[in-house]
Amino acid sequence: MPARPFLFSESQAGCFHVVNRIYDRRYLLDREGKDLLLKLVRAYEDVCGVEVLTFCIMDNHFHLLVRVPHRPEGFDVPLEVVVARLDRALGVESAALMHRNLEFWRSTKNESAIEEWRRRQVERMFSLSEFMKAVQLRFSRWYNRKAGRKGTLWEGRYTSVIVEEEERALRTMAAYIDLNPVRAGMVADPADYCWSGYSEAMAGKARSRRGLVRIVGQMAWPRATAAEARPWGTAAFPASVERRALVFYRAILGGQGAERKREDGTVVRRGLSEKVREKLTTPNERRLAAEVLTRRVRHFTRGVVFGGRAMIDQWFESNRQVVQGRSRTERKRGAKSLGRPALRGLYALRDVK
């Protein structure tokens, strides 16, 4: 079990680089597994009240840059919010069990049991260990059921490094995480790897773009409003600030992504090609906008069905039996918005990376 961070006596508040690996470092995380692991990270991010600034899910391990806020004095969450968040995080069977228990307590007028359960869920918040425990346990159960296996899936609980909540430290660690697929020789451009925070930001995902704004800090803001940098808890930032953060972060990736060679020319550490480095380190918001749209379109193949809302809703109703998980019975509509003004009126069956 990881030791309690030594900088904090009664709280796990702070920023952490978290890593864990599959046992024996086996390459077990395929596309389906990576998708689910990311879904669980995002769901328990809400359940536990933490913030994932960036991430990278590889074939046999994952990296997360997580910020755990201090618990506000008198903090509380109403029952309906707790239940809604857990509904998004739990599997079908666990969610059904939760609702059966709540309904039983209501039918027996045992309000004290409901309140005790709600209080325990709130107490789990603002805890790195609770967040990681929930994500890894849920994923292990899913994988073991799918693979017909038992036992541990991860090398251990996890390892974590405290990262100073300061711009230079956050930028350096974030770039290290997002460059992992390049270092591993999996892609030439970090934006080409779907399961990373930078790739999601390039594809227009709101959470990943917020994470980059907070990582970059003051450089993302016009000088007159730089004091507003990194306002934790903010749900959205101006589009201009998100663009500036993306431009600046690309320059960081280009700077840190250089290939390392020995004097004899032997490559010690893979890196970005000169062409990709030049693209990332040359600020050009117009070219960036075009690339962002291209990235968005490139990921459409992951949407399964692509087109107008009516067509996708009709397809969904006619083919519910092939949809997996809770969506088969509980999902109301098939069409999901692509979420960008340039693509207004277009939808996909599932979220486009």
Model confidence over 4-56: pLDDT tens digits? 443 333 457 889 999 999 999 899 999 999 999 999 999 999 999 999 999 99
Distances (CA, A) of 292 to 16, 200, 203, 295: 29, 10, 6, 5
DSSP state of 134: H
Report residue 316 as tokens. Answer: 């969904």
- Residue ranges per domain, the chain? 1-75+125-165, 79-124, 166-301, 304-348
Indicate the range of 101-110, 217-226, 275-284 predicted with least confidence.
217-226
221-229: long-range contacts, CB 8 A cutoff, minimum separation 24: none
- The alpha helices in the chain, defined as continuous H runs, are 31-48, 79-89, 92-107, 111-123, 128-147, 167-178, 180-183, 197-202, 206-216, 239-256, 274-281, 285-298, 309-318, 327-330
Q: Which of 65-74, 93-102, 186-195, 313-322 has the lowest mean pLDDT?
A: 313-322
The answer to whether 271 touches 188, Cβ cutoff 8 Å, is no
3-class SS shares of the chain: helix, strand, coil, % to 5: 55, 10, 35
Looking at residue 9, its pLDDT comes to: 36
Supply the pTM of this predicted model: 0.80
Provide the CATH topology of domain 1-75+125-165: Alpha-Beta Plaits (3.30.70)
Per residue in 62-107, pLDDT (tens digit) is 999 999 999 989 999 999 999 999 998 998 889 999 999 999 999 9
